[in-house]
Amino acid sequence: MKLPPRTVERLSKYRRLLSNKKYPEDDHIFSHKLAGFLNLTPEQVRRDLMLIGINGNHRKGYHVGTMIDVIGRIIDRQEGHNLALVGICNLGRAVLRFIRKSGTRMNIVAAFDIDDNKVNTTISGVPCHAISNLPKVIVEQNIHIAILTVPSEAVNEITTRLINAGIKGILNFTSVPLDVPGDVYLKDYDIITSLEEIGFYLKD
């Protein structure tokens, strides 16, 4: 099923919110309540759910267990995804811990760094390898997604290595714009840009 990226993003948020709030599986929720939690409109929620074949009940709303199950079947890979994190800085450690505790089917199975004090250690349950071993580990661990938390001056070289090793999806936490082939899915997460956007709307 082909879905717009923003729709997939919202579906992930719906499932995470419902799972974290630990609704009983047979409970129901109305679109306006779900929308209110996420600062969306009820119409947007209903459109998203209709795209994946979920219809609500006028009297009771949407069945929570059905929503969680259907969203999972739509956006998850059955066997999950193996991920690599490149750059064990403070941000990298925080991202690693967050994902490991999130309960997602995204499994960080390898980390990479150039620091000899980190290489060949285990960090938050994940083995850290030398950058020089990246191609070998990517293939052996069947890794297709990488998270970048490396210094800006290293990001282009590391990205080239990852793509040459077979990586097809990159989450970029650096501020460097990346040029990747059309068959590689790139998602940028620029903290400074996000903060400056918030600042712009608050400056008056």
**Judgement on whether residues 133 and 111 belong to the same structural domain of the protein:** yes
Average pLDDT over residues 97-114: 90
Contact (Cβ atoms closer than 8 angstroms) between residue 128 and residue 118: yes
Contact (Cβ atoms closer than 8 angstroms) between residue 52 and residue 4: no
Within 13 Å of residue 173, how many CA atoms lie on the same side as its CB? 18
Model pTM above 0.75: yes
**Judgement on whether residues 188 and 88 belong to the same structural domain of the protein:** yes
**Judgement on whether residues 17 and 62 belong to the same structural domain of the protein:** yes
Domain that holds residue 179: 81-193
pLDDT value at residue 204: 66
The last residue of one of the domains, among 74, 108, 130, is: 74
Report the chain's mean pLDDT, rounded to a whole number.
Answer: 92
Distance CA 136, CA 142 (A): 10
Average pLDDT over residues 67-75: 93
